[in-house]
Structure 1
Amino acid sequence: MSGQSILVLATGGTIAGQAGSATRRDYRPGQIDIADFLAEFGALGVETELEGRQVANIDSANIGPAIWGELHAACVSAMVDPKCKGVIVTHGTDTAEETAFLLDQTLPTEKPVVLVGAMRPADAVGSDGLRNFANAVRVAASDESAGRGVLLVMGDNVLSARDARKARTGGTNAFRGYPRGPVALATPSTLDWLSPPWRPAEKARFPFPDAFPMVPILHAFAGMDEGSVTRAISGGARGIVLAGFGEGNAPDCVRDALSEAVRAGVPVVRATRVDEGLVDTEPDDVESGFIAARALGPARARILLQLLVASGVTERAEAQAAFDRR
């Protein structure tokens, strides 16, 4: 990797967090500057040239379009910089799946972009941040990491942004992938891919939006009525994601209201509140105009629907094709 470096875009999160005690449960995310973090990492003796840039230093619950725009612009510049081998984004775990998936859909695939975080702050017993980061460096530095879209590294697992989600509130094994599990296994010294690249030399699937359309997620619950739908529409929703029961289901009155929304020009995606599983197209979807989320959970389904609406894609068949592809 002579003459090339990896760009590290830091946004804060637990990987940059501190508790002030090795055993405290509570902590403050986004306390360590990227320069200090990279200095500590450099002491481990990993021979990779890294360039750090502080984009933000916050809890990832506060990350949204403004920071997404900065990250996207920096990644686009890195893609055309011959001195840049790849990009690592340090990120809090709470919204990592949204950021990873958004970048995955709006960037080309010729260079690796890797999100990495931690579940324990830097000063905790058994902190996982430096090891996760070392694994991410291994991935970002590998020629074989290109052509796979954006990747997320947690623990010794490498997940595709299309599959990755936070599935546990605690523990260092908090992330899972569905329908694929890990696409590679990484350590600071090894990287083993479990499949060939699935998106070689692919251009960005969507342009980065000038503005993100309002797309709420409606969480289904027993006794739910159509009021949630009508309030979303009256509030200016330009799309709706249903986090439904089972395979994307909802009470009849809610489905009727969602069908009315589709007829009024507001696209609706059926996802599930269940931890994992496919939401397939049902016979009624064609008549109702609903889009099946397939393997995407509600958070990633919302991002994809926002990109579709922002790109002027609201016709059901074309939108469904975007949810179907890998």
Structure 2
Amino acid sequence: MTAKLIVLATGGTIAGIAGSALRNDYQAGAIDIDSYLEQVGGLGLDAKFAGQQIANIDSADIGPAEWNALHAATLAAIADDSCQGVIVTHGTDTLEETAFLLDQTLPCAKPVVVVGAMRPADAVGYDGLRNFANAVRVASDGEASGRGVLVVMGDRVFAARDVRKVRTRGTDAFRGFPRGSIAMVTPSSLEWFGAPWRVGEAARCGWHDTLPEVPIVYVHAGLRAGELLRQIGDTARGIVLAGVGEGNMPESVRAELVRLRTAGLPVVRASRTGEGLVDREPEDDANGFVAARALNPQKARILLQLLIADGIDDPSAIQTAFDGR
């Protein structure tokens, strides 16, 4: 049976044009969704598409306005009885953040697949059409639902919770942590590595058009409390620390964060390293800090924003949420 898929386009490299097959620089979001689906029509995919242009920009510019429109359109697509799955085309720089945000705020009723490309459409070795064909294979598969939002890049399928961009160039630029890929995919085959784990699950967090301000502070050698305070500013509702090692920080910074936590700001310790768990340490109870566990700083920020927006600001309740992600 031919699947009907709704494609929500936001721009990025997958819709980018360089003007030369050999140039390194290019314009992201130069191809509109109707033109892109015309190209896709020549692939012979067993699917019918309905496209909607949410934005057509570099993903570095993605923010609340685009997220609001994308979330609303995805909810509408999920509610459409004729729609089997949703594909979101997106730039790779912030793809993991958009995917995680959708993952936390959408029900797991139908497949939602986010896909991008590392090379523009007129580059030698353009990977966008293959990635898109793979996304169609995943979004058309009944076993894709009940797994949360998925990301398809480089013949691999990742869960939104795990996926992260780890390279600036090359088509093998995404990896999963703590799980690696959860499936291998080609345009003609799909091999899942396990059963769905979120079957019938509702959205984990509510949707809010405006999210509270939560800065990420990057720890470096020589960071002092004054610099920390300048980065946080006066309007922050919470703080994520991209700490050294397992979420560590200088003692002067720790003392200032304890003071801010006592004043009511939730503080989450994450790590600036590429991979690794940030577990609770003995001092976290006394300090009132939260350990980010497997979430990197950018995903920890999104989860903390969602929790605060939902009225959750108690450190123990926040920790429970992080432990469950």
After TM superposition, is the score higher than 0.5?
yes
Q: Which residues of structure 1 form unaligned runs of 5+?
A: none
The within-5 A match list for 1:127-142 is 127-142=126-141
The match for 2:253 is 254
Q: 1:66, CA displacement in angstroms?
A: 0.6
- Residue 47 of structure 1 deviates from its aligned partner by 1.8
Q: What residue is the counterpart of 1:289 in the other structure?
A: 288
Distance 1:34 1:15 in 2: 11
> 1:68: how far off?
0.4
Inter-partner Cα distance in structure 2 for 1:275 and 1:233:
23
Give the TM-score normalised by structure 2.
0.98
Question: Alpha-carbon deviations, 1:156-209, whole Å to 9, x = none?
Answer: 000000001111011001111000000011100011100111111100001111
Deviation at 1:230, TM superposition (A): 2.3
1:135-167 per-residue CA deviation (whole Å, 9 max, x = no partner) reads 000000100000000000001000000001111
Aligned to 2:235: 236
Name the residue aligned to 1:224.
223
CA contact (8 A) 1:132 1:153 kept: yes
Q: How does 1:105-184 map to 2 (within 5 A)?
A: 105-184=104-183
Residues 18-29 of structure 1 aligned to structure 2 (within 5 Å): 18-29=17-28
CA 1:118–1:233 in structure 2 vs 1: closer, same or farther (change >3 Å)?
closer
**Following the alignment from structure 1 to structure 2, what is the Cα–Cα distance between the partners of residues 136 and 59?**
20
In structure 2, how many angstroms separate the alpha carbons of the residues matched to 1:218 and 1:27?
31
Q: Whole-Å Cα distance in 2 between the matches of residues 33 and 122 of structure 1? A: 12
Which amino acid in 2 is paired with 1:279? V
How far the C-alpha of 1:232 sits from its partner, in A, is 4.5
Paired positions, count? 325
Indicate if the aligned counterparts of 2:14 and 2:90 stay in contact, CA closer than 8 A: yes
Query: Does residue 97 of the first structure (1) align with residue 96 of the second (2)?
Result: yes
Which residue is 1:317 aligned to? Answer: 316
Paired residues of 2:64 and 2:209 also in contact (CA < 8 A): no
2:4 aligned partner: 5
Task: Kindly provide the amino acid, as one letter, of the partner of residue 266 in structure 1.
Answer: L
Instruction: Name the CA distance, whole Å, in 2 between partners of 1:273 and 1:232.
Output: 16
Q: Is the 8 A contact 1:158 1:182 kept in 2?
A: yes
Deviations 1:8-47 (A, max 9, x none): 0000000000111111111111001111111111111112
State the partner residue of 2:210.
Answer: 211
Matched residue type, 2:106: L
Post-superposition Cα deviations, 1:56-81, rounded to whole Å, max 9, x if no partner, equal 11000000111001111011111211
Q: Distance in 2 between matches of 1:151 and 1:118?
A: 15
Q: How far apart in 2 are the matches of 1:232 and 1:260?
A: 16
CA–CA distance in structure 2, aligned partners of residues 22 and 230 of structure 1 = 46
1:260 CA drift (Å): 0.8
Helix, strand or coil at the partner of 1:303: helix
Distance (Å, rounded) in 2 between the aligned partners of 1:234 and 1:270: 18
RMSD after superposition:
0.9
Deviation at 1:231, TM superposition (A): 2.6
Question: Letter of the aligned partner of 1:310 in structure 2?
Answer: A
SS in structure 2 of the partner of residue 84 of structure 1: coil
TM-score (norm 1): 0.98
Runs of 4+ in 1 over 6 A off after TM superposition: none
Is contact 1:233–1:261 with CA below 8 Å preserved after alignment? no
For residues 180-195 of structure 1, what are the structure 2 equivalents within 5 Å? 180-195=179-194
Hey, what's the Cα distance between the residues in 2 that align with 1:189 and 1:229?
Answer: 51
Q: In structure 1, how many angstroms separate the alpha carbons of the residues matched to 2:313 and 2:22?
A: 50
Once residues 23 and 234 of structure 2 are traced to their aligned partners in structure 1, the CA distance between those partners, rounded to angstroms, is 42
Post-superposition shift, 1:122? 0.4
Superposition deviation, residue 239 in structure 1: 0.4
Q: How far apart, in 2, do the equivalents of 1:210 and 1:124 lie?
A: 37
- Name the aligned partner's letter for residue 269 of structure 2: R
Alignment partners' CA distance in 2, 1:297 and 1:269: 11
Gaps of 5+ in 2: none
* In structure 1, distance between residues paired with 2:107 and 2:233: 37
Identity over aligned pairs, percent: 62
Are 1:6 and 1:50, in contact at CA under 8 Å, matched by a contact in 2? yes
Query: For residue 84 of structure 1, what is the amino acid of its counterpart?
Result: C
